[in-house]
Structure 1
Amino acid sequence: MLPITEQENPNTARIDEVSTLEALRLINNEDKSVAEAVQQVLPQIAEATDAIIERLKNGGRLFYAGTGTSGRLGVLDASEIPPTYGVSYDLVQGIIAGGYDALYKASEASEDNKEAGAEDLIARGVTAADSVIGLTASGRTPYTIGAVRYAKSIGCFTACIACVPDSEITNTVDIAIVPVVGPEVITGSTRMKAGTAQKMVLNMISTVAMIRLGYVKGNLMTHLKPSNEKLRERSDRIRSRLGK
C-alpha cells in the first residue's frame, strides 16, 4: 500500500477543472486540517522539546537533517534563530542533502544516499551531547534515516518529524513526531500540507527551546540582534517596554 503522502486525495480530484477561486478554496480547506494534525502530536512535541532543552543547557547543539522541502525547512528554521535570539549560529544547524546549493535547485538524487546523511553529521562534528531531528514527510528517505541512525549510534538524542505513521524513521528515533495530514492537494506534493506541518512543529520546538533558555521575557525577544533599521526600532521598543 502506498504511504499516505503518496495517495490521491479524492477531495481535489477535479481541481484542474474548477475556477481559480474554487481551486484556492479546495487548497485552503485542506490546509485547515494541518493544525489539527499537529495538535494531535503535542505530547510528543513537548517530550522531544524537553529532551532538546536539557541537552542545550548542558552545552549541546540542535541539528536538523533532511532532503528537499524538508531539508530546506530545517535550514530556514535554524537560520532564523541567531538573529531572533542573539545566539551563536552553531547552536541550531540545518543540514540538507546536496549542501546549500540544494536550497534553490533540486537535488533529488542525493536523497537516496544513506551514507551521506551520516557523513554530513560527522563533518559538522556532531557528538553525543547533541540532538538530531530527522525531517522526512514520507518517513523513508535514506539520507535522513542514515543521519538519525548515526546520531543515535553515538548517543545523540534523536527525533523525527514525519507524516506517515509506523515508517522506517519513526521506528528508528527516540521520539517520533507524526502529524498525519493525509493525502496532498496535488498527489505527492509534500511541500504543501506535510511541509506546513513540519514548519509548524519546527517553530514550536525552537521557539519554546529559546524561551526555556532565557532569551524571551514575557513574549519579547530580549536578545534580538538589531542588524537593520526595522530591528533597531524593534529593539528600542523592547528596551522601552522592559524599562531599560
Structure 2
Amino acid sequence: MEKELSKLTTEGRNPNSMKLSELSTAAMLEVINKEDMKVAPAVSKVLPEIEKAVEIIFEALRDNGRLFYVGAGTSGRLGIIDASECPPTFMTPPEMIQTVMAGGNEAFTNAAEGSEDHEEDGKNDLKKMGVTQKDVVVGITASGRTPYPIGALKSAAEADARTISLSCNKNSTISGYADCAIEVIVGPEVLTGSTRMKAATAHKMILNMISTAVMVKLGKVYENLMVDVHASNHKLKERAKYIVTEITNADAAEAEKTLELADWQVKPAIIMIETQVSYEEALKAIKKNNGYVGEAIAFAQK
C-alpha cells in the first residue's frame, strides 16, 4: 500500500490533454474522443484473463454459488449497475449477483470517498454476506491499490471463495490476492486521475462481457435473444413477443396468446409453439434440460 500514487499509470498526466483548460469545446471533445478510442483495444489485450474469469464465475453460478462485486466510488457503482441489470435481463434471483460497496449502497448517489481507505471494512462487510467456497468475489479498483476491495479479497480467500481482481495498472497490489487478475491498461486520463473516464469505461465493458457471457453459458440466451427476459412492462412484453416470433416464425397474435398462457415467460412459450406441448410439459422440458432452450425443444419433441 506504500506504492506512490504518482507512479501509477492511472494517475499520470496525459501529454495529449496538457492544454485542456485552454481548448475550445470542439477541440476538448476531440481529445476526449481520441482517448476513448484507446479503451477497446486495451480490453482486447486482456481477453484471455476475462475468459478465465467467465469460466470461474460460470462454474460457481451453475453450482448455486453467488457472485459478489466489491468496490469503492465509481468501481462500486459499476458493480451495482451490472448486478442490478441481471434480474430484469436474465431473470436471475437478486441474491445471485450482488455488490458490496464501500460506504454502503447509499454511496451510489452520495459519495463516501473516505470509506475506501479501510481494509478491515472491506473484510467485515464481505463477511456479513456469508461468503463460502461456492462463491466468487470480484474486487474492482482502477488504481489496483484501494484497501477496501483488497480487504474483501483477503476475506474471500479465508472463506475459500474464488477471487478475481479488475484494475488498470500493471502489477497492481490487488492482483496478488486474486486467483484471476485482470489488468486493463488504458493509460493516463484526459483529466488527470479521473478514473471515472477511460478506466471506468474499460471496467464497464469488461463487466458487460463477463455477465453476458456467463448468462449465455447458463442457458439464458438462445441464439442472440434474451429468452429469460422478465416481461414486466409494455416494452418488455413487446420484446417478448418479438423474441417468440423470431424463433418460432409464429405471427404476433399467436405469440401473444401463447405468452399469456405461459405467464409471459419466453422459454415455455417457445417450446409450446415449437413442439405443441402444454405449458406444464414445456416447464418440465426446461427443468429437465437445465434451462437450455435447444435441448428442451429436442426433449419435448420426443
Give the TM-score, by structure 2 length. 0.80
User: Does the aligned pair in 1 maintain the 2:172–2:183 contact within 8 Å?
Assistant: no
CA distance in structure 2 between the aligned counterparts of 1:143 and 1:112, rounded to whole angstroms: 6
State the Cα RMSD in Å.
Answer: 0.8
What's 1:218 paired with?
Answer: 223
Say how many residue pairs are matched: 244
Which of 96, 105, 108 is 1:100 aligned to? 105
Q: Which amino acid aligns with 1:199?
A: K
What's 2:19 paired with?
Answer: 14
Which of 219, 223, 232 is 1:227 aligned to? 232
CA distance in structure 2 between the aligned counterparts of 1:189 and 1:173, rounded to whole angstroms: 25
Task: Give the alignment of 1:93-132 within 5 angstroms.
Answer: 93-132=98-137
CA distance in structure 1 between the aligned counterparts of 2:196 and 2:142, rounded to whole angstroms: 9
Q: Which amino acid aligns with 1:102?
A: A
**What is the CA-CA distance between 1:242 and the residue it aligns to?**
2.1
Task: Give the alignment of 1:146-157 within 5 angstroms.
Answer: 146-157=151-162
5+ residue gaps, structure 1, are none
**What is the CA-CA distance between 1:62 and the residue it aligns to?**
0.6
User: Does 1:72 find its partner at 2:77?
Assistant: yes
Task: Give the alignment of 1:156-171 within 5 angstroms.
Answer: 156-171=161-176
**What is the CA-CA distance between 1:241 and the residue it aligns to?**
1.5
CA distance in structure 1 between the aligned counterparts of 2:25 and 2:201, rounded to whole angstroms: 22
User: Does 1:63 find its partner at 2:68?
Assistant: yes
Which of 191, 206, 228 is 1:201 aligned to? 206
User: Does the aligned pair in 2 maintain the 1:115–1:146 contact within 8 Å?
Assistant: yes
Q: Larger deviation: 115-124 or 178-187? A: 115-124
**What is the CA-CA distance between 1:35 and the residue it aligns to?**
0.4
- Greater fraction helix: 2
Q: Which amino acid aligns with 2:163?
A: T
**What is the CA-CA distance between 1:216 and the residue it aligns to?**
0.1
Task: Provide the secondary structure at the position in 2 that maps to 1:170.
Answer: helix
The structure having more radius of gyration, on CA atoms, is 2
**What is the CA-CA distance between 1:125 and the residue it aligns to?**
1.6
CA distance in structure 2 between the aligned counterparts of 1:231 and 1:113, rounded to whole angstroms: 42
User: Does 1:47 find its partner at 2:52?
Assistant: yes
CA distance in structure 1 between the aligned counterparts of 2:183 and 2:56, rounded to whole angstroms: 17
5+ residue gaps, structure 2, are 1-5, 249-269, 271-302
Give the TM-score, by structure 1 length. 0.98
**What is the CA-CA distance between 1:113 and the residue it aligns to?**
1.2
User: Does the aligned pair in 2 maintain the 1:76–1:94 contact within 8 Å?
Assistant: no
What's 1:83 paired with?
Answer: 88
CA distance in structure 1 between the aligned counterparts of 2:227 and 2:172, rounded to whole angstroms: 40
* Deviations 1:12-62 (CA, angstroms, capped at 9, x unpaired): 000111111110000000000000110000000001110111111111111
* Deviation >3 Å, runs of 4+: none
CA distance in structure 2 between the aligned counterparts of 1:51 and 1:100, rounded to whole angstroms: 26
* Deviations 1:94-135 (CA, angstroms, capped at 9, x unpaired): 111101110001101100111111111111221110000000
* Deviations 1:159-178 (CA, angstroms, capped at 9, x unpaired): 11100111210111111101
Task: Provide the secondary structure at the position in 2 that maps to 1:238.
Answer: helix
What's 1:238 paired with?
Answer: 243
User: Does the aligned pair in 1 maintain the 2:65–2:134 contact within 8 Å?
Assistant: yes
Task: Provide the secondary structure at the position in 2 that maps to 1:159.
Answer: strand
CA distance in structure 2 between the aligned counterparts of 1:220 and 1:119, rounded to whole angstroms: 39
**What is the CA-CA distance between 1:239 and the residue it aligns to?**
1.5
User: Does the aligned pair in 1 maintain the 2:184–2:202 contact within 8 Å?
Assistant: yes
Identity among equivalent positions (%) equals 50
